[in-house]
Amino acid sequence: MSETVILKAKEWLKIDRNEETRKEVEKLLEENDETKLTQLFGSRLEFGTAGLRALMGAGYTRMNHITVQQTAQGWSEYLLSTMDNDQIKKRGIVIGYDHRYHSKEFADITANVFMLKGFKVYLFNVIVPTPLVSYAIRSLNAAGGVMITPSHNPKEYNGYKVYWENSVQIIPPHDTGISQKINENLELLDLEKASEVSNGLLFDPIKTDQVDERYYNAIDQEMKSKLLDNSENTSELKVIYTAMHGVGYEWIKRAFQKIEFNGMIPVESQVEPDPEFPTVPFPNPEERGALDIAFKTGDEKGSNLIIANDPDADRLCVAEKTVGSESKWHKFHGNEIGMLFGWWQYKKYKNSENKKPVAILNSTVSSKMVRALADKNGFKFEETLTGFKWLGNKAIDLEKEGYKVLLCFEEAIGYMVGSTVYDKDGISAAIALIQMAQYLKNKNLTLLQQFEKLCQKLGNFLYNNSYFYCYDKEVIDSIFKKIRNDGKYFEKIGTSKIKSIRDLTTGFDSSQKDNKAILHVDPNSQMITFTFENESVITLRTSGTEPKIKYYIESSGKETLEQVRIKLDKLTQMFIDTYLEPEKNSLVPPKKK
């Protein structure tokens, strides 16, 4: 067995005060389990723009008391190195946590580290949805924040999501700066001393600042509309709600009370926070089967609408029962709900007194249908890289330019409806969804029928989004090298001619006059987008956390749905066969569900 790994494991035991992880390491040493010890001590968790997200357990590659404390020490030192120390300590840090195993402990550790550094700490005393941390930073003018959650990952995981002073998740170069400070501050502080300094530094933002009430009031103001003032009786609207065993139920309940909506029917077996996730082992509402109990509840209760939050309540999934003799549940794609929100937000804007120019944003891999809506109505549309860290920052930039940002969204069911929170927010999105559904119901329309009306006006937009596993970096590099062809990118796929190419690995963008990309360029990741003359779009990129090559392919047109589907499938297959070559490159497709 590697002496280095053994030494690291033994050094770990000298500093680990947690009985659970100590026993794990002691057992592995006793059994001489070199493979497992190397997994745990052979490297360190990498801190990125998403912070940390990993399995919980012993070792430097896992989420545990030691790695969380070291991360907090590095994060605090980075803040101190970038801002005025006295001012930043007074502004303080916001810390929230979900219901997962060890989340409260990780939050307490973080709070103790920051107090030892002299920071005011706003530590929530209850489990909270992720967007509340983002809102609290902005509302309290804090210097930053941390949310302890792995979002929708399985029960064995936890995460450490970091926000900057503008209440948006961090972007480069902050991630590398924090990572460097973590490595410079690995020696653990004595956290027992934190109790000596906590008086005057530790606050619960709900008790001391009523952040929760501020949040609900801000959302209520954001969502108000003349369209809703003259609504007819909407008491018949019945909505099934599931929290996926996460934190959302109590917060959604209060949100609906705020807008005087009484038609929520909870999925009783899934509304209580439960770190075991007994009915949904992979608690992502996008996954096939995740809404099965909600569908059953809807059938039993006579409801035609379902909404679901993921466990930290920052995303929203929607399903609706179709109208007709063969009625069945339709689970909306994130792009479909994003489009409906775009229509709804713009309709509300047109009926308001607001005279500001408006904008809607989505990520580069989300549907271009909302761009068609913007072109038709003359408002601004912009796209950003994937992730609300980019969408939130762009929204702030546009607001500084005088725009009212109506919506930001991603195809992965993340929505920022309005700008109360500069992050995806499943609570405010749920309110917007209910209000939109109420309005449409009074017009004798369903959500799906309204979406179909938009398709009739703007065209049909269909997409194939999937991935291949690839465990060989050289193969991945060779695939992208072939596509780049020494800068002589291919001009067409089959009969589909390419209009423009954007390569965010090299910084090339043929749609710009100087051929330089406007979006953030990262030479350490692969991402190429092709826009075709027939308005089809292909984006190919690598995953930052998994051995995957992901593709997002969209085709659109005024043809019939079936004709657009044929066009899309043909383009998809030709692209995969010609440039990915799965068999030759030993690419592994996802398992069929």
Residues with catalytic function: 151
Compute φ and ψ for 53, nearest 5 degrees. -155, 120
Residue 492 host element (H or E): strand 492-493
What's the Cα-to-Cα distance from 515 to each of 197, 500, 536, rounded to whole Å? 55, 10, 21
Residues 6 or more apart in contact with residue 359 via CB below 8 angstroms? 379, 380, 381, 382, 398, 403, 404, 405, 406
Output the six-digit token pair for 275.
């770190």
In the 8-state DSSP scheme, what is residue 429?
Answer: H
In the 8-state DSSP scheme, what is residue 46?
Answer: P
Describe the crossing of helices 211-223 and 426-442 by its angle, rounded to 10 degrees: 30
Q: β-strands 144-148, 202-203: how paired?
A: unpaired
- Of the CA atoms within 13 Å of residue 231, those in its CB half-sphere come to 23
Describe the crossing of helices 34-41 and 3-15 by its angle, rounded to 10 degrees: 60
Cis before 131? omega within 30: no
What is the sign, positive or negative, of the torsion defined by CA atoms of 3, 8, 9, 11? positive
Residues 6 or more apart in contact with residue 267 via CB below 8 angstroms? 240, 241, 242, 243, 293, 294, 297
The amino acid at residue 132 is: L
Give the separation between CA 593 and CA 311, rounded to whole angstroms: 22
- Of the CA atoms within 13 Å of residue 285, those in its CB half-sphere come to 34
H helical segments located in 288-446 = 292-301, 334-350, 369-377, 388-400, 426-442
Give the separation between CA 581 and CA 84, rounded to whole angstroms: 54
The amino acid at residue 539 is: T
Give the separation between CA 360 and CA 1, rounded to whole angstroms: 56
**Residue 418 burial by CB count (10 A; 0-12/13-18/19+): exposed, middle or buried?**
buried
- How many angstroms separate the first and last alpha carbons of the chain? 40
Residue 149 contacts residue 52 (beta carbons within 8 Å): no
